[in-house]
């Protein structure tokens, strides 16, 4: 055996040295799939003589791509010419290299969700449509779903134009596409869609990529959607050397388009495929693995496999049934404190609290703060969401692509140039009438000179600065260009003039952003490349939440179960193990939905290396209501031999739990109904108390759902309500069954 491959187990070795033909590597959680993939690439280059340029390795996160590149280079040195990228970045790269063939100018920009909403809001005004009925989030969700199925605006209109409310959606979709094209812009969905269309419409170009990428590797294959599957199929059809790595038990993104059939039917899609299972786990103790397997084995739609470990059994899975959600949070904080005292080797970064929904985080933030325990909430790119950072990024995008209307409208009056909301809307309308970009309108002196003198001078200076920087960008470094933008646009001077605590903080953030640019420039130099503006903006645009997780920060991590995928922690807490929360009510009667919830539970449990704590609350306050809960069905599915702590489904009074904290129970016990024996009856009674049965509901009505939270009704048809929820997107619900009530606007 080759020396550097000796650390691989027999199955990993077989996977690393099987190069020809289709290969499915079923890699369970913690089975060393990243090591296997990197050693496979190293073997290709070092021993099989494969040119790095002939390899395309695709991942789902920038973090995973960077880790893979670093590991490969540690084994074989530089892999310059090899593509190790996310799906979006690989497609973006193809489009950048072939912009004309795709129908775009080379300096096109990629719109983030904020930019997309800005475009939709402008179109709603243009069409005089009610934003309550056509909420931007709902419109964009519809467009995104259509694009994922490769359904264009014209086809969408043909298929849906006759339905109530959908004629307007079809018009919005059509105008949205035209606005993007006019602005020389794409959205996230476009990146993969346009790349697939590019290859399907240009066989010569497809052949060139097929000949170049003779070996394809796809990570997390269970998370691929229809378009990603199409892309992979197109590139692999010439040589058939495709290796996909994944785990059907960890398919948890079907709600955003992932198609589990891609991995379940791989052998059908690629005849003659070899299947290798990686079942030895190097992460978790035996008790944790056995507990996770006892849950996931209840799923029917899965490939047979079972993780095992040579490690000791470890500590049993601990379950705690708290009196209420406050006590649940206090218990978690107390356990972290006790474990830190008991084991000096543990740090705060060894702990994670993984919840089903973001609304659960508040209690834990309060409990940890009260104990002085440091924590980080992984819920978004907080730094990059700051106003000043968004502003300067809009300036940088506009310098790269002056046709970017969305970016321009964000900063046209930042700093203040005397343009109020009415003036801005007039410019937008005039550009639409003239079929021009807004920057073209601003270049017309007759237009700008019609404004008051001071405003006109500001606009002339603005146009001059943007156009000048646009011409100079090729000859300036990104850092130099950034400094020039801050000075020439007057943005930095305006903040300095304010001389407030807030403005000082914003200046500090802008200066810190120079560190971001410097780090990116150094990374490119190390790779033998030069950082250019479009590359810098692309990398920030494609940054994901999980990429922002820094294990080096000594803090307890709080995040959703979805966000935790791919991460690991010594000690994991999964709170809210209650029917209605996990699994959610919406999945209880849905076979496919229930199976995905069970996979999510499996993913959460297998994040734990040494200790796993499951908790629930007998009484829980959500959305202003305190209600009695039923313990999660998943708790019943875990083998009793791997668990310790509170007995599942055994009666336990709130007072007995609170006694540990010397607190008086705030609730009377009242008559008790067994959650297991009468789950459906309990659910029915709860629903009866808070449904919209018999009530008039119209589009635009604000509602509160017990599980999905706040939302807006966008269509009411008989007993069926279509609701766009702030966190969960669009749902169709039965008015007389859904646990939901009206929210009257203040």
Catalytically annotated residues:
33-34, 219-220, 250, 607
Strand residues in 294-427 grouped as ranges (E): 317-324, 351-355, 375-377
Q: How many CB atoms lie within 10 A of CB 424?
A: 15
Q: How many CB atoms lie within 10 A of CB 238?
A: 14
**H-helix or E-strand containing 26?**
strand 23-27
- Of 389, 385, 390, which Cα lies nearest the Cα of 511? 389
- Of 540, 522, 521, which Cα lies nearest the Cα of 478? 521
**Rounded Cα gap, residues 374 and 340, in angstroms:** 13
Structural contact between residues 356 and 584, judged by C-beta atoms closer than 8 angstroms: yes
In a 13 Å sphere around the CA of 292, the CA atoms on its Cβ side amount to 32
**Rounded Cα gap, residues 578 and 631, in angstroms:** 4
**Radius of gyration for the chain, computed over Cα atoms and rounded to the nearest angstrom:** 28
Instruction: Tokens for 707, please give them.
Output: 């599980």
Residue 482 φ then ψ, to 5°: -60, -45
- Of 249, 188, 195, which Cα lies nearest the Cα of 223? 249
Instruction: Tokens for 682, please give them.
Output: 């309990």
Q: In sequence order, what DSSP letters do the residues of 618-687 get, joined into one string?
A: EEEEETTEEEE--B-HHHHHS-GGGEEESPTT----HHHHHGGGT---SS---S---TTTTHHHHHHHHH
* Helix segments in 343-415, DSSP class H: 361-371, 387-400, 405-411
Please state the three-class secondary structure of 507-533 as a single string: HHHHHHHHHHHHHHHHHHHHCCCCCCH
**Rounded Cα gap, residues 686 and 678, in angstroms:** 12
CB proximity list for 536: less than 8 A, separation 6 or greater:
396, 478, 517, 520
- Of 112, 101, 88, 93, which Cα lies nearest the Cα of 532? 93
Residue 270 φ then ψ, to 5°: -125, 85
Q: Using CA atoms in the order 54, 57, 62, 68, what is the torsion angle rounded to 10 degrees?
A: -90
Structural contact between residues 551 and 63, judged by C-beta atoms closer than 8 angstroms: no
Our CA angle for 142, 143, 147, nearest 5°, is 120
Structural contact between residues 579 and 630, judged by C-beta atoms closer than 8 angstroms: yes
- Of 718, 744, 714, 727, which Cα lies nearest the Cα of 129? 714
Residue 225 φ then ψ, to 5°: -100, -170
Strand residues in 98-221 grouped as ranges (E): 109-111, 185-187, 215-218
Q: Using CA atoms in the order 468, 470, 476, 477, what is the torsion angle rounded to 10 degrees?
A: 140
**Rounded Cα gap, residues 246 and 252, in angstroms:** 12
At which residue do the structure tokens 């903040």 appear?
495
Pairing type for strands 702-705 and 740-742 reads: antiparallel
Q: Calculate the alpha carbon distances from 106 to 93, 101, 184, 374 in Å.
A: 11, 10, 9, 45
- Of 519, 393, 530, 542, which Cα lies nearest the Cα of 65? 542
**Rounded Cα gap, residues 676 and 653, in angstroms:** 17
Beta bridge partners of 620: 627
**Rounded Cα gap, residues 62 and 54, in angstroms:** 21
């Amino acid at each position: 055996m080759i020396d550097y491959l000796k650390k691989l187990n027999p199955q990993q070795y077989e996977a690393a040295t099987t190069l020809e033909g289709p290969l499915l590597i079923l890699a369970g959680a913690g089975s060393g799939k990243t090591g296997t993939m990197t050693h496979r690439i190293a073997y290709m280059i070092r021993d099989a003589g494969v040119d790095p340029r002939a390899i395309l390795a695709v991942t789902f996160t920038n973090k995973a791509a960077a880790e893979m590149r670093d590991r490969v280079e540690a084994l074989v040195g530089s892999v310059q010419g090899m593509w190790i990228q996310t799906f979006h970045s690989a497609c973006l790269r193809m489009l950048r290299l072939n912009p004309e063939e795709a129908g775009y100018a080379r300096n096109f920009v990629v719109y983030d969700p904020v930019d997309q909403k800005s475009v939709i809001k402008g179109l709603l005004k243009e069409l005089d449509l009610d934003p309550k009925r056509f909420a931007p989030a709902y419109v964009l969700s519809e467009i995104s779903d259509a694009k994922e199925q490769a359904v264009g605006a014209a086809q969408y209109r043909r298929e849906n134009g006759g339905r109530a409310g959908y004629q307007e959606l079809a018009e919005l979709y059509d105008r949205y596409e035209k606005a993007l094209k006019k602005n020389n812009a794409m959205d996230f969905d476009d990146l993969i869609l346009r790349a697939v269309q590019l290859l399907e419409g240009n066989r010569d170009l497809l052949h060139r990529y097929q000949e170049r990428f003779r070996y394809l590797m796809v990570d997390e294959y269970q998370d691929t959607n229809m378009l990603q599957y199409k892309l992979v199929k197109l590139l692999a059809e010439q040589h058939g050397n495709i290796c996909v790595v994944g785990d059907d038990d960890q398919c948890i993104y079907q709600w955003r388009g992932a198609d589990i059939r891609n991995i379940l039917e791989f052998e059908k899609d690629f005849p003659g495929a070899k299947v290798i299972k990686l079942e030895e786990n190097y992460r978790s103790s035996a008790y944790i693995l056995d507990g996770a397997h006892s849950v996931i084995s209840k799923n029917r739609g899965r490939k047979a496999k079972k993780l095992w470990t040579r490690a000791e059994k470890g500590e049993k899975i601990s379950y705690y049934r708290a009196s209420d959600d406050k006590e649940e949070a206090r218990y978690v904080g107390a356990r972290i404190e006790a474990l830190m005292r008991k084991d000096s080797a543990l740090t705060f970064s060894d702990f994670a609290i993984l919840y089903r929904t973001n609304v659960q985080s508040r209690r834990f933030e309060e409990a940890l703060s009260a104990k002085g325990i440091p924590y980080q909430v992984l819920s978004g790119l907080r730094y990059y969401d700051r106003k000043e950072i968004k502003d300067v990024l809009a300036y940088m995008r506009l310098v790269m692509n002056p046709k970017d209307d969305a970016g321009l409208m964000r900063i046209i009056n930042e700093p203040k140039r005397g343009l109020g909301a009415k003036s801005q809307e007039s410019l937008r309308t005039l550009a639409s009438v003239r079929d021009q970009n807004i920057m073209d309108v601003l270049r017309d002196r007759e237009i700008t000179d019609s404004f008051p003198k001071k405003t006109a001078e500001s606009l002339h200076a603005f146009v001059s600065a943007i156009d000048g920087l646009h011409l100079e960008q090729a000859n300036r470094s990104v850092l130099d260009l950034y400094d020039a933008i801050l000075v020439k646009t007057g943005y930095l001077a305006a903040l300095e003039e304010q001389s407030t605590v807030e403005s000082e903080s914003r200046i500090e953030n802008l200066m810190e952003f120079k560190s971001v640019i410097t780090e990116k420039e150094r990374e490119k130099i190390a790779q033998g490349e030069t950082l250019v503006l479009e590359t810098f903006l692309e990398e920030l645009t494609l940054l994901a939440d999980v990429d922002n997780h820094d294990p080096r920060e000594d803090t307890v991590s709080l995040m959703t179960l979805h966000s935790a995928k791919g991460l690991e922690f010594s000690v994991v807490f999964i709170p809210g193990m209650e029917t209605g929360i996990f699994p959610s009510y919406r999945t209880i009667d849905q076979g496919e939905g229930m199976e995905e919830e069970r996979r999510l539970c499996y993913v959460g449990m297998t994040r734990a290396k040494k200790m796993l704590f499951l908790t629930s609350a007998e009484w829980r306050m959500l959305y202003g209501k305190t209600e009695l809960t039923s313990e999660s069905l998943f708790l019943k599915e875990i083998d009793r031999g791997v668990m310790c702590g509170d007995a599942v489904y055994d009666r336990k009074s709130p007072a007995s739990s609170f006694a540990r904290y010397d607190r008086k129970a705030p609730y009377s016990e009242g008559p008790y109904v067994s959650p297991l024996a009468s789950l459906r009856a309990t659910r029915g009674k709860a629903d009866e108390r808070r449904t919209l049965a018999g009530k008039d509901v119209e589009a635009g009505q604000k509602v509160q759902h017990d599980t999905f939270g706040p939302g807006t009704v966008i269509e009411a048809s008989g007993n069926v309500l279509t609701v766009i929820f702030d966190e969960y997107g669009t749902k169709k619900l039965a008015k007389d069954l859904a646990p939901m009530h009206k929210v009257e606007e203040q």
